[in-house]
Structures are given as C-alpha cells and as structure tokens.
C-alpha cells in the first residue's frame, strides 16, 4: 500500500500571484518558479482573489488558482478578529494574510513583501 506524501502548506501572497498572472517583467519568471517548486500545498486567502480581481480585472480567479494548485482559504470573522489584535505587519491587509496563515497552521509565506520578515514563527521565501 502506498503512503500519501504530506506536503507542508505554504501561503501565497498577492504579489507573487500578481507577478505570475501579469507576466511581470521583473518578477514574473521568479513567481512562476516559486509556484511550480512549492506545488502541491499552496494556499491563499479569499481576500487575495478580490485583490487580484481589482488589480487585474480578471474573473474566474477561483478556476485559475485551482489550475495552478492554490487552495483558497476562507476569510472568516475569526481571521478578522485575529488580524485586528496583531501589531505587525503594519499594513492591515498584511495582518489579514498573516492571521489567515495562523488560523490554518501555515508558517511559510511566498512573498516579495519584506513586512513579513522578523515576525516570529514566519518564514518568507522569495
């Protein structure tokens, strides 16, 4: 009987997905490599879907994210309460992302945002 491999879940920040979806000249290839390297096991917040829609105008982002192997995590009242209590990162949006990670037991974030650096228990990869 084959054992299922367990994968560490990693959170994908908006910027990595934006770079990938827009083939960003500076960071698009890097974002693509990160997504390929860490699939399966990628997750992001429902907030990310909204932000990507606002930034790109793309619809069907749920389908696109599913195709590249990114699970969409719910934005719940518990996440928002936790985000409100956090003092870092300074940006509320980033605190929502961090709270989503915490609520889902994720400690690694794929992000170009240095605001995630020096947060105890969090590893940023870019």
The token duo for 78 is 């518990």
Which residue has tokens 């399966």? 40
Tell me how far apart the alpha carbons of residues 12 and 38 are, in angstroms, rounded to a whole number.
Answer: 10
The token duo for 37 is 């390297």
Give pLDDT, residue 4. 54
Q: Would you say domain 10-108 falls under CATH 3.30.390.30?
A: no
Q: Please, are residues 43 and 73 in contact by the beta-carbon 8 Å criterion? A: yes
Tell me how far apart the alpha carbons of residues 111 and 109 are, in angstroms, rounded to a whole number.
Answer: 6
The token duo for 94 is 């980033």
Q: Give the global pTM.
A: 0.92
Q: Please, are residues 62 and 72 in contact by the beta-carbon 8 Å criterion? A: yes
Q: Name the average pLDDT for the chain.
A: 95
Distance of CA 123 to the CA centre of its chain: 13
Dihedral pair phi/psi, residue 30, rounded to 5°: -65, -45
User: pLDDT of 106-121, one tens digit each?
Assistant: 999 999 999 999 999 9
Tell me how far apart the alpha carbons of residues 56 and 41 are, in angstroms, rounded to a whole number.
Answer: 24
User: pLDDT of 55-92, one tens digit each?
Assistant: 999 999 999 999 999 999 999 999 999 999 999 999 99
DSSP H stretches of helix in 22-122 = 28-38, 46-56, 61-67, 77-85, 92-103
């Amino acid at each position: 009987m084959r054992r299922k491999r367990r994968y560490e879940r990693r959170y994908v920040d908006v910027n990595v997905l934006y770079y990938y979806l827009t083939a960003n000249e500076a960071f698009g290839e890097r974002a693509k490599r990160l997504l390929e390297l860490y699939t399966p096991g990628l997750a992001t917040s429902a907030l990310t879907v909204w932000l990507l829609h606002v930034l790109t105008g793309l619809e069907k982002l749920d389908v696109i994210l599913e195709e590249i192997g990114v699970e969409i995590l719910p934005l719940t009242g518990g996440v928002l309460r936790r985000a409100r209590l956090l003092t870092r990162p300074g940006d509320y949006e980033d605190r929502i992302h961090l709270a989503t990670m915490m609520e889902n037991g994720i400690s690694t974030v794929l992000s170009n945002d240095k605001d995630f650096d020096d947060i105890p228990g969090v590893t940023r990869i870019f």
